[in-house]
Amino acid sequence: MEIKTAMRRPYWIPHYASPYDFPSVENALVHPDGLLAIGGDLSPERLIYAYRRGIFPWYSDEQPILWWSPSERMVLFLEDFKISRSLRKTIRKQKFTVTVDHCFEEVIKNCAAIPRAHEYGTWITNEMINAYCQLHEYGYAHSVECWENGQLVGGLYGTAVGQVFCGESMFSKVSDASKVALSHLVAQLKRWKFGFIDCQMYTDHLSSLGAIEIPRSEFQELLIHFAHSNDELGCWQFDNDLLML
């Protein structure tokens, strides 16, 4: 993750600052797009406050904590999720067993370990792993697991604020495993009246699943409506009938 020098500098958050110490997202830099603030910590209070305002951490081991709010936000509206014919066939075969919140730490560590094209190392640092495991203990962060013959072969994790699921990362060791996990998550979130999944930044893979980019201003309006409702904390469970998709 390369940070180039910009004319305007991002806001610096002292480590001792209040967890609610963030500038307006309108102050995010143009180059690099969306860099808003540097520093602070990854306390549960700061992370949840940030997510409700459309801000997320993304940085590498050698960098301080970097906080982002890009000008274009990748969003998956649940009704737009695309299930290909081949994926639907895989789901109907019930090749995989899908669970939720069974092994959060194992999922996030697998996400960190999976090599990705055009990326060197991982942004899921040990500091991030510890922070999100704590969020999971608080009942905000959740994982979806995909199993084959008793082995974890795919999954995803993210954070729920109000009726928004902020997706962080997914992994697959077997073809379609993470897509099956996402399919079950989307079905459950629809039933719970969630508004959308925040995918943060554009990838071709997310686009192929139906996610689109929307302007920051539109994203902020969605957060006002969906991210400030009451949080349902604790471990999630899939409705039994949804496990038979």
Using one digit for the tens of pLDDT, what is the confidence trace for 70-106?
A: 999 999 999 999 999 999 999 888 899 999 999 999 9
Q: Packing angle between helix 126-138 and helix 104-113, nearest 10 degrees?
A: 150
Express each pLDDT in 161-186 by its tens digit.
999 999 999 999 999 999 999 999 99
Predicted local confidence at residue 230, as pLDDT: 85
Structural domains in the chain plus CATH codes: 11-70 (3.30.70.3550), 74-244 (3.40.630.70)
Predicted local confidence at residue 3, as pLDDT: 52
Predicted local confidence at residue 9, as pLDDT: 86
Phi, psi dihedral angles at 238 (to 5 degrees): -75, 140
Q: How many helices (H) and strands (E) does the chain have?
A: 7, 11
Predicted local confidence at residue 15, as pLDDT: 83
pTM of the model: 0.92
Predicted local confidence at residue 150, as pLDDT: 95
Instruction: Answer yes or no: is pLDDT of 33 > 50.
Output: yes
Instruction: Answer yes or no: is pLDDT of 199 > 80.
Output: yes
Q: Output DSSP code: residue 124.
A: -
| Cα–Cα distance measured from residue 235 to residue 101, given in angstroms and rounded to the nearest whole number | 6
In 3D space, the residue among 25, 21, 20, 78 whose CA is nearest the CA of residue 216 turns out to be: 25
| Cα–Cα distance measured from residue 55 to residue 47, given in angstroms and rounded to the nearest whole number | 9
Instruction: Answer yes or no: is pLDDT of 122 > 80.
Output: no
| Cα–Cα distance measured from residue 239 to residue 245, given in angstroms and rounded to the nearest whole number | 11
Instruction: Answer yes or no: is pLDDT of 194 > 60.
Output: yes
| Cα–Cα distance measured from residue 155 to residue 145, given in angstroms and rounded to the nearest whole number | 4
- Reported for 84-90, long-range contacts at CB under 8 A and 24+ positions apart, including other chains, are 86/176, 87/176, 87/179, 87/180, 87/183, 90/176, 90/180
* Percent share of the chain, pLDDT over 90: 83
Q: What angle do CA 77, 78, 84 make, to 5 degrees?
A: 110
* Residues 90 and 176 sit within 8 Å (Cβ to Cβ): yes
* Residues 82 and 210 sit within 8 Å (Cβ to Cβ): yes
> Tokens 């940070």 appear where?
3
